[in-house]
């Protein structure tokens, strides 16, 4: 009986026999399931790579060799086998280990990755660096078939084939990225099997086999039975062979003995090698096998039933977005929706069912999604591009060059804006205000409530220019529904409270703590004007200037990097208006990457909660009165 506690490094894995390795795979699955059900995290993807992870750690020495996981969320078993078992209960918790590979966390993590399709380029760079420095080790990229839809993966493959380094790429093929894979690559085999070349090849080959005396009929039957295997081995590998790779596979990704034998065989290859491994996402847990997309990234759940624990009764911003864009599409036939492998995550599942001919999942290809939308917009279509804030960064040039420069009416639905919590620095959406607000002709909005979100999308569809609507990860706050004082009007803010002592300017998810702080200030005898700015661009500087003149004190609260954010925009506006004597305090995020942890912990830590806003106002007024 294997005790998982006795496995403290890959050296311990190497001591196990075949039966013990199979037992280890079961122990790893049980541990991952038990912990993710409590902490939340990425479940289905991790359950699918258990045997592959064991085999890799059995064959290679990852204190010397380098492994790059793509996407990094499939690294839980790797962490358990590389000395982090005692800390595994802290995964994705504030102060605990990360849910992604992190070079600063372990010497076994060769490269960090929270976004997809980076592994081949990184692993190739590691190899080239090895050769430049005279070292000797192997470099391995483990990439999911969903991540292979991104152009960056093929850029890496192309360069690797040119350099002819001994790179090992393992294609983890589970037919899924987050949502089910789409596009030409995933249907490549089906198309080529029905093509004239294959039909002619098959006909000529079978004719040749059947012409062999005595053995022909028997061999023909065998050939028909292995036809499917032949198709994959011979034809699926063509594209990789053409790129300069030795193609091996496909092999069963849950057969440890076969995995080990194959890895040992290709370990000594001196040319680029691609090993095609077939796995099942969610393997070993009934609910995740049946619903791998639903169990891709999960919060705490009951493992016996798969039911979520502690879910709020109010809808999430993502689900409200899904309802809103579906309603828009019913009223306006020009509206289409585009996402990048995030149909469920962005709330577009019902839209896809209702309007399948107007829904486009382009795979993990954010730059393509944006430029595709730009092309649609030239033909009078109103494309809504739903992408997480952190992933939209990957399409920055396309936003500028293909959409905004040509002033095309593309609508960006930016989910997960602000602090997202347990996934950490690769997933926090804390740069979008900074990277969007300076782009000419782009309208940038942020709703605090369901009502505002619906009105903002109504407005965006009517515009003949690009727009972006950013909203947080989390649920609608009912109290804010009752606080909507005015309808959304282009470039105009909303005043929630009036006062002569201090102005508080905020937006989106920080409106609620700011409102509670304003009410506390009122009880302390300090009257605040609370502005829900709504529009980051165009900015309502007339109203801001009025508040600055009236109070002489402004506090700007934003869940974004302070560098280049809303506060910076307001300072620029005050400077232009000659109001440089206004005392301004910007409450945003510091100039460093924000760690993982519960959203409430991070907001308290970085001074974005009610208490911090209240104290900041007190200190600002006290400082000004004493100067």
* Residues identified as active-site: 281, 366, 394
Cis peptide before 71 (omega within 30 of 0): yes
3-state secondary structure of 308: strand
DSSP state of 364: S
Strand pairing partners for 415? Answer: 388
Nearest alpha carbon to residue 382 among 414, 410, 401, 412:
410
Contact 558, 566 (CB under 8 A): yes
**Cα separation, 565 vs 558, whole angstroms:** 8
Angle at 454 between CA 340 and CA 346, to 5 degrees: 20
CA–CA separation, 567 and 586 (whole Å): 6
- Closest by CA to 442, choosing from 470, 400, 414, is 400
Residue 110: strand, helix, or coil: coil
Structure tokens at 472: 């947080």
Report which secondary-structure segment, H or E, holds 222: helix 216-225
Q: How far apart are CA 221 and CA 500, in angstroms?
A: 90
Contacts of 125 (CB under 8 A, 6+ apart): none
Q: Are 52 and 262 in contact (CB under 8 A)?
A: no
Q: At what angle do helices 151-163 and 119-132 cross, to 10 degrees?
A: 30
Q: Report phi then psi at 420, rounded to 5.
A: -100, -15
Contacts 24+ apart (CB under 8 A), 518-527: 520/610, 520/614, 521/614, 521/617, 521/618, 522/497, 524/618, 526/499, 526/501, 526/502, 526/617, 526/618, 526/621, 527/497, 527/498, 527/499, 527/500, 527/501, 527/502
Task: Report the alpha-carbon distance of residue 228 to residue 507 in Å, rounded.
Answer: 57
């Amino acid at each position: 009986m294997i005790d998982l506690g006795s496995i403290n490094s890959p050296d311990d894995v190497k001591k196990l026999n075949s039966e013990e390795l199979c037992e280890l795979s079961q122990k790893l699955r049980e541990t991952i399931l038990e912990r993710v059900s409590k902490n939340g995290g990425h479940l289905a993807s991790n359950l699918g790579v258990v045997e592959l992870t064991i085999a890799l750690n059995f064959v290679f020495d990852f204190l010397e060799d380098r492994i790059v996981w793509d996407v990094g969320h499939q690294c839980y078993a790797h962490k358990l086998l590389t000395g982090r078992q005692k800390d595994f209960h802290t995964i994705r918790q504030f102060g605990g280990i990360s849910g992604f590979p992190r070079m600063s966390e372990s010497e076994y993590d060769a490269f960090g990755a929270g976004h997809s399709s980076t592994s081949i380029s990184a692993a190739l760079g590691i190899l080239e660096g090895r050769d430049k420095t005279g070292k000797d080790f192997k470099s391995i990229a483990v990439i999911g078939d969903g991540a292979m839809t991104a152009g960056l993966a093929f850029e890496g493959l192309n360069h690797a084939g040119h350099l002819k380094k001994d790179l090992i790429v393992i294609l983890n093929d589970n037919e899924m990225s987050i949502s089910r894979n789409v596009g030409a690559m995933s249907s490549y085999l089906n198309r080529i099997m029905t093509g004239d070349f294959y039909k002619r090849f098959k006909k000529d080959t079978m004719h040749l086999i059947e012409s062999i005396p005595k053995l022909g009929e028997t061999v023909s039957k065998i050939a028909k039975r292995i036809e499917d295997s032949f198709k994959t081995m011979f034809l699926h590998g063509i594209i990789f062979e053409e790129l300069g790779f030795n193609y091996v596979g496909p092999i069963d990704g849950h057969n440890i003995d076969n995995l080990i034998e194959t890895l040992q065989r290709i370990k000594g290859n001196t040319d680029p090698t691609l090993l095609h491994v077939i796995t099942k996402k969610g393997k070993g847990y009934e609910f995740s096998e049946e619903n791998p997309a639903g169990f891709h990234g999960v919060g705490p759940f009951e493992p016996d039933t798969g039911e979520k624990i502690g879910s709020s009764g109010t809808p999430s911003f993502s689900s409200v977005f899904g309802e809103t864009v579906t309603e828009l599409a019913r009223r306006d036939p020009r509206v289409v929706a585009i996402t990048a492998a995030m149909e469920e995550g962005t709330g577009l599942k019902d839209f896809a069912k209702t309007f399948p001919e107007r829904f486009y999942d382009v795979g993990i290809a954010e730059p393509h999604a944006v430029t595709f939308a730009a092309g649609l917009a030239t033909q009078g279509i109103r494309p809504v591009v739903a992408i997480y804030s952190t992933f939209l960064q990957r399409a920055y040039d396309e936003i500028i060059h293909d959409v905004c420069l040509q002033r095309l009416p593309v609508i960006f639905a930016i989910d997960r804006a602000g602090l997202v919590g347990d996934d950490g620095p690769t997933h926090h959406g804390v740069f979008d205000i900074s990277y969007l607000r300076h782009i000419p002709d782009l309208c940038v909005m942020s709703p605090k409530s369901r009502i505002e979100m619906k009105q903002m999308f109504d407005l965006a569809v009517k515009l003949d220019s690009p727009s972006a609507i950013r909203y947080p990860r989390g649920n609608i706050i009912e109290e804010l529904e009752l606080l909507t004082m005015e309808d959304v009007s282009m470039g105009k803010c909303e005043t929630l409270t009036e006062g002569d002592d201090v102005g508080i300017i905020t937006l989106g998810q920080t409106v609620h703590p700011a409102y509670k702080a304003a009410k506390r200030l009122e009880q302390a005898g300090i009257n605040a004007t609370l502005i829900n700015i709504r529009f980051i661009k165009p900015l309502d500087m007339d109203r801001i200037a009025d508040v600055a003149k009236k109070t002489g004190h402004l506090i700007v609260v934003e869940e974004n990097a302070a560098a280049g954010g809303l506060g910076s925009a307001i300072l620029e506006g005050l400077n232009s208006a000659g109001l440089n004597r206004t005392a301004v305090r910007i409450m945003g995020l510091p100039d460093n990457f924000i760690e993982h942890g519960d959203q409430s912990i991070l907001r308290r830590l970085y001074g974005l909660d009610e208490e911090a806003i209240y104290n900041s106002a007190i200190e600002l007024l006290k400082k000004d009165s004493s100067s």
